[in-house]
Chains A and B, each alone.
Chain A
Amino acid sequence: MQYGIFSVSDITRDPVSGETPSEAERIDAIVKIATHAEEVGLDVFAIGEHHNPPFFSSSPTTLLAHIAALTERLIVTTSTTLITTNDPVRLAEEYAMLQHLSKGRMDLMLGRGNTGPVYPWFGQDIRQSLPLALENYNLLHRLWHEDVVDWEGKFRTPLQGFTSTPRPLDDVPPFVWHGSIRTPEIAEQAAYYGNGFFANNIFWPKEHYQRLIAFYRERFEHYGHGTAKQAIVGLGGQAYIAKTSQEAKKEFRPYFNEAPVYGNGPTMEEFTEATPLTVGSPQEVIDKTLTFREWAGDYQRQLFLMDHAGLPLKTVLKQLDLLGEEVIPVLRKETEARKDPETPEAPTHASLVAAKYGDAAPRQPRPNANRGDNVTGASPYQDSSEEFQADYPAL
């Protein structure tokens, strides 16, 4: 079981001090938060992707590569990478590069985003959001699994004899999670490919995505990747922790009341009652988090949202201390004791390499010499399959 944090990358006014951090301050802060996550014993750090203020994370691979360089054990990932407005060719290249630089300590989570105006900024049409997401991932999958790709789809220019570089580390593509809370097609795609499925588990009652997780598990088994219990599920969650319940409520209330998305809506009490948010002592966070497996089944990754709504850096780091010292160790122990023995761990680069090669050495693609004509081609690497013939258009 992996535990970690995920950030939306919002730059929000601190409602208590009245201060809004600058972009520079918030970017420096997120690096400290990520490195501190490793220091307190967390496994995963995830960052969102946004292309408008008040968010800073437009270039997640740059940030994650930097964080990977500053850490030793932490898995860096996204929450989410926009599979709608990003060109899958660029995603294949950028995340393969991140995979090399982090030595495989990365994966990524694909999502459709929640900001309508983004689509035209990148030449896309929001009305096509779902087919775009599905088709783009189909291409991304092939770009990482095949040296040379011929491809034609509805939403981007065709590819003939195209090779995405660098090839994935050890020729093992990064593990992919698909994030969704109410779209069966996304769950189906995750199941078809044997990828992970993630429910953000923040804003809405669990019934919204409980059924979708069950559907994903059933389809994962249908496609022959293992039993429903062996499907790879991740959940979000949200907590504000203090030594006592009263302190936590008092400290977090002003941030809750003005938080983006749910601020000025339900009361904190109503919201904690109906959603996975816990505002309370470490024991309360432990108790609530342990209930997640009861409705989602045993799962592989638990991420907490800890740095949003204008919480100052000092507070976030203290939250991480409490999470790492008092919550996660108990959760690890309790989950280990309760989980079905059939439950696999979340795939990592090491486990995927072992699954593909066993004890054999992983493939290390070496390009052929530049012949002057290998802008596109059929066998770019010394060991590429000779069988592939690129399907060039007739002139």
Chain B
Amino acid sequence: MTSTDQRPFRVVVVNAGVSDPSSTKMLADRLALRVEAAAQRDGHTVETQNLDLRELLPELSGALASGHLGPRFTAAIEALAAADGIIATAPVYKAGPSGLFSSFFQVLDNDLLIAKPVILGATAGTARHALVVDEQMRSMFAYLRTMTAPTSVFASTEDWQDNSLGKRIDRAARELVVLMETGVEARIKDTSWNSYQHEFGSAGGNELGIDLGSDLMRLAAGGTLGGPARS
């Protein structure tokens, strides 16, 4: 893992809003701006990359049907693999994050986002969906082993005229910046990457370690399970 001391933080903003203008996109943008501001206060700069999932729609059918990733998916995965922090926002449809949002993260390798700092956000037409972020999106990111910021940001229509949304955005942004500053991702991965489950070529094609001393490797080389090779 490269040190983030010398270079800007790379933040990828994943937005699953599809309309234009989109309140989900607005929420993502505000989060991104506040993350930049919070980082600046600590003397860091931020490079923000926007990932509008709508642009991946033409490749989504192939990704879902046969795990076939097109060039846009591949570029998105490369961006996420290189990210120091992620802001992920979804519109709430039918009491859950949109299918596009869920599908995108379901297609990723299980180990792509391990220990990455993430802010989760969602928008909806009514406050009745307020727990979708914490009850549905957070559980998916728990599966992905991300370092999800304690504050999640939900914005219903009425929240846009309430100062408290801005406060929550600032709080979440501050949390993300602190998580990035501590280098938590690198510190976790450096010491315990091998204790997570991987497949050869997983983590977006970056996981290429082969442990020649494993039980299965010994079995492959004519050995037996739990014992040395037979002469």
- Listed in ascending order, the chain A residues whose CB lies under 8 Å from chain B are 130-131, 134-135, 138, 141, 153-154, 182-186, 188-189, 192-193, 203-205, 207-208, 211-212, 215, 261-267, 270-271, 274-275
CA distance A189 to B221 in the complex (A): 6
Task: Given the known inter-chain contacts A182-B199, A208-B201, please indicate yes or no for A188 contacting B217, CB distance below 8 A.
Answer: yes
CA distance A154 to B226 in the complex (A): 10
B197-229: CB near A (< 8 Å → 1, else 0) gives 001110001001010100011011111111000
Q: Are A203 and B200 in contact (CB under 8 A)?
A: no
Task: Given the known inter-chain contacts A266-B66, A274-B68, please indicate yes or no for A131 contacting B59, CB distance below 8 A.
Answer: no
Q: Are B66 and A262 in contact (CB under 8 A)?
A: yes
How many residue pairs link A and B with beta carbons under 8 A? The number is: 88
* B8 interface residue (CB < 8 Å to A): no
Q: Are B67 and A130 in contact (CB under 8 A)?
A: no
* B125 interface residue (CB < 8 Å to A): no
User: CB within 8 A of A134: which of B65, B208, B220?
Assistant: B220
Q: Are A265 and B220 in contact (CB under 8 A)?
A: no
* B62 interface residue (CB < 8 Å to A): yes
Q: Are B225 and A262 in contact (CB under 8 A)?
A: no
B43-70: CB near A (< 8 Å → 1, else 0) gives 0000000000000000101111111111
- Most A C-beta atoms less than 10 A away, residue of B59, B201, B226: B201
Q: Are B200 and A265 in contact (CB under 8 A)?
A: no
Q: Are A183 and B200 in contact (CB under 8 A)?
A: yes
User: CB within 8 A of B68: which of A154, A184, A185, A262?
Assistant: A262
Task: Given the known inter-chain contacts A203-B66, A203-B68, A204-B68, please indicate yes or no for A264 contacting B219, CB distance below 8 A.
Answer: no
A256 to chain B, nearest CB (A): 12
Contacts of A185 in B (CB 8 A): 216-217, 219-220
B10 to chain A, nearest CB (A): 23
Instruction: Please give 15 more A-B residue pairs, beta carbons under 8 A apart, in addition to A131-B216, A203-B66.
Output: A135-B225, A138-B219, A138-B224, A188-B220, A189-B220, A192-B220, A193-B222, A204-B68, A208-B201, A261-B66, A264-B65, A266-B70, A267-B62, A274-B71, A275-B68
Q: Are B201 and A274 in contact (CB under 8 A)?
A: no
A-B contact pairs, 16 of them (CB 8 A): A134-B216, A138-B219, A153-B225, A182-B200, A183-B200, A204-B68, A205-B69, A207-B201, A207-B205, A212-B200, A261-B66, A262-B66, A266-B61, A266-B65, A270-B59, A271-B62
Contacts of A262 in B (CB 8 A): 62, 65-66, 68
CA distance A183 to B198 in the complex (A): 11
CA distance A342 to B225 in the complex (A): 37
B214 to chain A, nearest CB (A): 8
A181 to chain B, nearest CB (A): 9
Of all chain B residues, the one with the shortest Cβ separation from A222 is: B212
Q: Are B221 and A265 in contact (CB under 8 A)?
A: no
Q: Are B217 and A182 in contact (CB under 8 A)?
A: no
CA distance A266 to B58 in the complex (A): 9
CA distance A212 to B207 in the complex (A): 12
Task: Given the known inter-chain contacts A134-B216, A153-B224, A188-B217, please indicate yes or no for A211 contacting B66, CB distance below 8 A.
Answer: no
Q: Are B221 and A188 in contact (CB under 8 A)?
A: yes
